Amino acid sequence: MVTNVTDKYLKMKIHILGICGTFMGGLAQILVEKGHTVSGSDKQFYPPMSDQLQSLGINMIEGYEESDLPSADLYVIGNALSRGNPSVEHILNQKLEYTSGPKMLGEMIRDRTVIAVSGTHGKTSTSFLICEIFQSQGIDIGFLVGGVSDSFDNSARLGSSKYFVIEADEYDSAFFDKRSKFIHYHPHTFIINNIEFDHADIFNDLSDILRQFHHAVRTVPANGHIIFHDGDKNITDLVKMGCWSAKHQLGRKDNIQLSVEEGVINFENQKFDIRDFPMHGKHNLSNAMIAMYAASLHGISPKESFLALTNSKGVKRRFETVFQNDHKIVIDDFAHHPTAISHTVQAAKNHFPTQKILGIIESASNTMSQGHHGDHLYESASGLGKAYWLNVSGKKNREFEYDSIQLLLTDLTKEIDNFDVILIMSNKDSKKISEPIIDLIKNK
């Protein structure tokens, strides 16, 4: 397997397997900027990532047949691929050079000041907020984020400054490297938004997740920073496992606090009115607060950060209005965990206090669809007027779950006139839900 590939070669022909994922597609963007010739394969291509890849002039190959695999100096294998895949087997049989995406990215940004954003929830939003703050100061920030923001043309770029922001995912790196992706990034500033059990397909329990997070904590230098919110027991337990860097625990009475009741962020001796922010929900305001604090550690004042975030364009599919007329509003959100769902539901109730809200929640993650959250999952939507659950995995956990969008739409047709807001929550392709619902509203 290749080591220090970016130092060994100035320019290479690189083929990425699993290129349409948000991480690998972002890596492709950075590799093109570095001057490499990039191609990629995936089982299917869909926007917005397929549009970004096409704009880069990347040759995209659908499927993984051995005969379709082009010659390359290096193959970067995504974590969605495993043994038995024809392309993977060919690479192994022919002893071709290969690596993982996180390892390659980590090598490319090793000389940068890396700000890594981790946690079960809020990684994408917090990462883009930090990028917006730095960009507002004229800093050409480099980044790779697993989402789309209207503030940036792409989900990744190399940037020319010393700073690089990375969404630090705890999912595994590749079939041959089961460590979490963030092990490879060597952050100077490591943000931990929160830690809960998730990804039941690769983690047995919470202790497995904490072990991976602690591996990352061990890579932060003594002159680096670890930032986290007060009151998260799992993070407290993590820090007790050992921490050798400066710890910044936000939310204590003597430092940085978010008070939704008072409508302010108290930043030591300064107050900022959160009503000036365009984002909704306490969870998103907490993301803004931790982004402001991270920027302050790198020389950007809280006032400058606050002004930048008042103009934030946000992240696609984070409480995004995808349709609105005089009678109905359709909101699309990425929530796919009981905590995230309950936060989004509360944000919707606060934002639409007099309107009736119907939720449509897709159990798309392995953890959700297999029922690992138990009753807690369904209770997370109890604040809604009504909730429809879509679970196409073939394992129905409750009678009121639908195993097809068609059946759900049939019942929705009977109920939709009774509601003002349709709140869709899914971490998959939500357009397959939102588009027929919007058609239904238009044709009523």
Longest alpha-carbon distance in the chain = 64
Instruction: List domains and CATH numbers for the chain.
Output: 5-100 (3.40.50.720), 109-310 (3.40.1190.10), 320-443 (3.90.190.20)
Q: Which residue has the higher pLDDT, 374 or 24?
A: 24
Residue 112 has pLDDT above 70, yes or no: yes
CA distance 49 to 367: 25
- Identify the top-confidence range among 154-158, 283-287, 395-399, 423-427: 154-158
Contact call for residues 177 and 82 (beta carbons, < 8 A):
no
Nearest to 202 by CA among 341, 80, 44, 77: 80
Residue with tokens 């369904």: 378
SS (H, E, C) 349-373: HHHCCCCCEEEEEECCCHHHHCCCC
pLDDT score, position 369: 55
pLDDT (mean) for 327-351:
83
Residue 336 has pLDDT above 70, yes or no: no
pLDDT score, position 2: 42
pLDDT score, position 147: 76
Contact call for residues 212 and 219 (beta carbons, < 8 A):
no
CA distance 270 to 409: 50
CA distance 383 to 439: 26
CA distance 183 to 172: 10
- List the Cα angle 294/299/305 in 5-degree steps: 60
The tens digit of pLDDT for each residue in 82-105 reads 999 999 999 999 999 999 999 999
Contacts of 165 (CB under 8 A, 6+ apart): 114, 115, 116, 117, 127, 130, 131, 134, 141, 142, 143, 144, 145
Residue 178 has pLDDT above 80, yes or no: yes
The tens digit of pLDDT for each residue in 371-420 reads 556 677 778 788 888 888 887 666 565 666 788 888 888 888 988 999 99
pLDDT score, position 200: 66
Residue with tokens 């798309």: 364
pLDDT score, position 136: 95
Q: Which residue has the higher pLDDT, 360 or 282?
A: 360
Residue 4 has pLDDT above 50, yes or no: no
Residue 349 has pLDDT above 70, yes or no: yes
pLDDT score, position 317: 65
Burial of 410 (0-12, 13-18, 19+ CB in 10 A): exposed
Amino acid at 332: D
Contact call for residues 156 and 27 (beta carbons, < 8 A):
yes
Contact call for residues 33 and 153 (beta carbons, < 8 A):
no
Residue 1 has pLDDT above 60, yes or no: no
The answer to whether the pTM exceeds 0.75 is: yes
CA distance 410 to 399: 16
CA distance 372 to 394: 15
CA distance 227 to 250: 7
The tens digit of pLDDT for each residue in 180-201 reads 999 999 999 999 998 987 766 7
Residue 5 has pLDDT above 60, yes or no: no
pLDDT (mean) for 344-355:
86
Contact call for residues 139 and 304 (beta carbons, < 8 A):
no
pLDDT score, position 251: 84
